[in-house]
Structure 1
Amino acid sequence: MRIEVTLLSEPPRTFELDGRMGWAMTQLSMAGVQGVATIDRPAPRWSAYVHRLRERGIQIDTEMEPHHGPYPGQHARYRLACDVQIKALGAEVAQ
């Protein structure tokens, strides 16, 4: 998956992401204000994807939430804290 991301800041900034970084950015964008919880949308390295997106200047908030069940603990919920525009490059954006 390859996408073009435009950060709608002043001034706007556009760059491309591909592979898992493109997938993670798309998931965050589609989740909107609800955000992405690692327990609901498992992926091998969410924290690494978020770290690398932040290095690109994308503002992402992290909120820790408790979870219950046989293995209680906490999980992260990530939310975009900036306005972005995403365009698929060469293929449709998958969910």
Structure 2
Amino acid sequence: MAESEHTIVLCYDIARAKTRRRVADFLEDRLVRVQQSVFEGRMTPSRAYRLFDAAAALVDDGDNLRLYVLTREGLQKSRTFGGAPLPEEGAFILL
């Protein structure tokens, strides 16, 4: 059975500006930036873990990087205010 996609939240607290910029650039190519150091997207958990590992390789000791994988139930219990919503499950953008 194929692994289903979930909403993921990846956030960081990084001390050095150069490292912050490198991590932000890396994540902006793959996720939607919803706050200065918070990114969201939809992907399978295994892909999210690989993304996290790649981002973790860019940070320094003492920095903080967190990944949250939200189940459908967890997402339904979550709340947001402001900002652009993420595309619905199954939605796509044609360029």
TM-score normalized by the length of structure 2: 0.33
TM-score normalized by the length of structure 1: 0.33
Kindly indicate which of the two structures has a greater share of residues assigned to strand.
1
